[in-house]
Amino acid sequence: MATNNVTLYYIHDPMCSWCWGFRSTWQQLQQNLSSAIEVTYLVGGLAADTDQPMPIAMQQSLAATWQRIQQHIPGTQFNYDFWNPSSNTQPRRATYPSCRAVLAAKAQQPSSEQAMIEAIQQVYYLQAKNPANLDVLTAVAETIDLQPDQFLQDITSPAIEQEFLRQLAQARQLSNQGFPSLVLKHGNSHHAIPLDYNNSQTMKQAILTIINPQQ
């Protein structure tokens, strides 16, 4: 298989609920791809920094999105206590902090990138804690054996902010399809890979067809 100069970009946000629903199929796809295909993660930045509480109407809209995901992707779990006013989660429409957390984890330990993404998703969607908060992210970092002091230093550093802005720009240049998105770089061309949330084989076939169009 001719896979020289082939990169599969995964454009995501740790607090994107569709990314959470997609995770199992995405893991299956990665396991079934040739090792010659380089997989590169890019944080796309779903929602900018804010200290303002999320409006009730937006909370209701996102809770409804969770319900749609569960209908579309069987087996996806959500803890709706996150939207309960008595839970003290104080929802904010801010995902940039969790994006920076992924980059800070990777800076401290390159192999921790995917572990951090999954840990953020677990604490958000299953434990009803808010990854928009730095204390939550620091606690998450400790659960994947990162040094909390180093994590705090990195997540607020100019280097991480520069890398975040670089990935943000690249993600927006590659795709306007929202999150998650898959873009295959083959030679000098880029190809959007249609998502199938329930079947990794359809995406694998789409990728192979681009790499070997005559096969």
Amino acid code (one letter) for 102: V
Query: How many C-beta atoms surround the C-beta of residue 9 within 10 A?
Result: 21
Residue 3 has pLDDT above 60, yes or no: no
**What pTM value is reported for the model?**
0.94
Give me the mean pLDDT over the 23-34 stretch.
96
> In terms of CATH architecture, what is 6-211?
3-Layer(aba) Sandwich (3.40)
Query: Shortest CA distance to 137 belongs to which of 45, 30, 14?
Result: 14
What are the sequence ranges of the domains in the chain? Answer: 6-211
* Three-class DSSP category at 92: strand
**Cα Rg for the chain, rounded, in angstroms?**
18
Q: What is the pLDDT of residues 79-128, one digit of tens each?
A: 999 999 888 788 999 999 999 999 999 999 999 999 999 999 999 999 99
**Residue 79: count of CB within 10 angstroms of its CB:** 16
Res 2: pLDDT: 44
For 61, the 3-state DSSP assignment is helix
